[in-house]
């Protein structure tokens, strides 16, 4: 088996409303992985347009994602931060992968079913083939590790299938087999809505009370946590007691992801009490974690020229890395 140099790639859609789930599920890992890996982070605007976007809002959201990543600790000198549509290798390789992936594979993607819902016939073709573009994003850089939330696991398995089929079809070991990097279960892998413990915290939830935004101030965080759905029972003595209590489990999971304490230790500390003291403590640690990032994000957002220059330089560096991979793919296929 060929040894591929470890390299991280991950992307975030500029669709507004960046939230605590994006931070704890993905961005926190982006920062950590920089210590050990060569990292490439991408604002995936071509993914965003699989559903209609207002052009001005999209432009603003691209800068918002860049500001969030820098504020969270992505170092734009060592890591690469750029916008997907500025590097044409993504779209070119995605077309090639449209010809590698099988219809049956895409038909199994649960995110397409969830997002298209009852209106499948009216969904864009882009939304359907979105996982092929995601595979291209990663494999254009021969990336080996992909930090994502648990919801992206199925798409990463598809990217592995595409890499494997391409390698098998041409009898070579050209693409690496990707490893997902996902937070521990119950500690950030899947943060749920504050209003419904069965639904993922999501940018597109119509209720702002369902999510904590990365830019929420202390009062807004306090209000959202105070109103977060719970149940009438006291907190249990161990995490086993959270099993059939999705809202309580979610809040303990958020606490755990923010502090690094285990859910068992957290339960033990608040055991037998109602949610009020726990919610106060959670509000405090959440504000402590998010406030400095929000302040830095706002500072960066006021300096659009700086953000645009980071993204332009990032695109140049990314294009340099993707070009030889795409050229080799074309050679392998017999194109040109
Ligand atoms: N609730 C979540 N818990 C943990 N991780 C999450 N991620 C998203 N939601 C959660 C992770 O954040 C990264 C960026 O996600 P994205 O913006 O590219 O797309 P998404 O998964 O579609 O995000 P949303 O918020 O759920 O948007 P909508 O509402 O449009 O579907 C990814 O690594 C994702 O796993």
**How far is CA 11 from each of CA 31, 69, 108, rounded to the nearest angstrom?**
13, 11, 22
DSSP assigned state of 202 = -
pLDDT at 187: 77
Which of 10, 23, 25 for mutating ligand 1's site (highest number of atoms within 8 Å of CB)? 25
> Vertex 107, ends 104 and 108: CA angle to 5°?
95
pLDDT at 258: 96
The predicted model scores a pTM of 0.95
> What residues in the chain have per-residue pLDDT under 70?
1
Q: How far does residue 47's CA lie from ligand 1's centre (Å)?
A: 12
Q: Please report the atom of ligand 1 found closest to the CA of residue 188.
A: 4
- Distance, in Å, from the CA atom of 85 to the CA atom of 64, rounded to the nearest integer, reads 16
pLDDT at 185: 82
Instruction: Look at ligand 1, atom 14, and give the residue with the nearest C-alpha.
Output: 12
Q: How far does residue 155's CA lie from ligand 1's centre (Å)?
A: 12
pLDDT at 183: 84
Q: How far does residue 191's CA lie from ligand 1's centre (Å)?
A: 9
pLDDT at 1: 62
């Amino acid at each position: 088996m060929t040894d591929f140099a470890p390299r991280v790639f991950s992307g975030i859609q500029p669709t507004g409303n960046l939230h605590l789930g994006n931070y704890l599920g993905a961005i926190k890992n982006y920062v950590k992985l920089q210590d050990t890996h060569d990292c490439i982070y991408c604002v995936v605007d071509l993914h965003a347009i699989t559903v209609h976007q207002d052009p001005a809002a999209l432009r603003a959201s691209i800068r918002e994602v860049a500001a969030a990543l820098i504020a969270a600790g992505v170092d734009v000198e060592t890591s690469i931060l750029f916008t997907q549509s500025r590097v044409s290798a993504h779209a070119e390789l995605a077309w090639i992968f449209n010809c590698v992936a099988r219809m049956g594979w895409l038909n199994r993607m649960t995110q397409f079913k969830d997002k298209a819902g009852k209106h499948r016939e009216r969904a864009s073709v882009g939304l359907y083939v979105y996982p092929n573009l995601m595979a291209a994003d990663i494999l254009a850089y021969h990336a080996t590790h992909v930090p994502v939330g648990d919801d992206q696991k199925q798409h990463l398995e598809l990217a592995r299938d595409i890499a494997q089929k391409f390698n098998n079809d041409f009898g070579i070991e050209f693409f690496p087999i990707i490893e997902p990097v996902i937070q521990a279960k119950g500690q950030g892998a899947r943060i749920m809505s504050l209003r419904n413990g069965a639904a993922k915290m999501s940018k597109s939830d119509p209720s702002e009370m369902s999510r904590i935004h990365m830019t929420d101030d202390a009062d807004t965080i306090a209000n959202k946590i105070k109103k977060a759905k719970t149940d009438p029972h006291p907190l249990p003595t161990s995490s086993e007691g959270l099993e059939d209590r999705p809202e309580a489990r979610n809040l303990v999971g958020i606490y755990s992801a923010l502090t690094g304490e285990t859910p068992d230790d957290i339960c033990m500390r608040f055991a037998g009490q109602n949610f009020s003291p726990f919610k106060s403590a959670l509000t405090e640690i959440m504000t402590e974690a998010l406030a400095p990032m929000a302040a830095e994000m706002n500072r960066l957002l006021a300096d659009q020229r700086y953000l645009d220059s980071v993204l332009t330089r990032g695109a140049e560096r990314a294009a340099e890395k993707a070009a030889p991979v795409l050229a080799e793919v074309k050679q392998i296929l017999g194109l040109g």
